[in-house]
């Protein structure tokens, strides 16, 4: 079982010391489900990339901005869970940040993403 508080502290410390300002670890793998913890120093960026079939980001510490060509930019702060765009996007840390990235691969979308409960 992963302890998110411990992982957050370890990866934030590692990101602050890393030349690229990032640290990441795949912490859960179950069939098509993946969860990764990602830490980024303020100003660090994950360059534009394709989105998996389904994904969400839960910011544990700090604030990030998700930029996409088709969708409006989204600032996501600590304590917030956000469905990720299905378009190419980038993620930039506005503050030293740690987030939990949940992805599902190899699953087709029928009605698009569900936004909210």
pLDDT tens, position by position, 87-116: 889 999 999 999 999 999 875 544 444 433
Query: Rounded CA gap, 13 and 9, in Å?
Result: 6
- Per residue in 25-77, pLDDT (tens digit) is 999 999 999 999 999 999 999 998 888 889 999 999 999 999 986 778 899 99
CA dist 74 and 79 (Å) reads: 14
How do strand 45-49 and strand 74-77 relate by DSSP bridges? unpaired
Model confidence pTM above 0.95? no
Q: Rounded CA gap, 13 and 113, in Å? A: 34
């Amino acid at each position: 079982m992963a302890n998110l508080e411990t992982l957050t502290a370890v990866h934030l410390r590692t990101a602050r010391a890393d030349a690229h300002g990032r640290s990441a670890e795949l912490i859960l793998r179950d069939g098509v489900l993946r969860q990764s913890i990602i830490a980024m120093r303020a100003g660090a960026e994950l360059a534009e990339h394709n989105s998996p079939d389904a994904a969400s980001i839960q910011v544990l510490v700090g604030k990030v901005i998700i930029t996409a060509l088709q969708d409006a930019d989204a600032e996501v702060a600590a304590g917030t869970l956000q469905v990720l765009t299905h378009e190419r996007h980038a993620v930039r840390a506005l503050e030293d940040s740690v987030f939990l990235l949940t992805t599902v691969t190899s699953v087709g979308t029928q009605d698009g993403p569900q936004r909210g409960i």
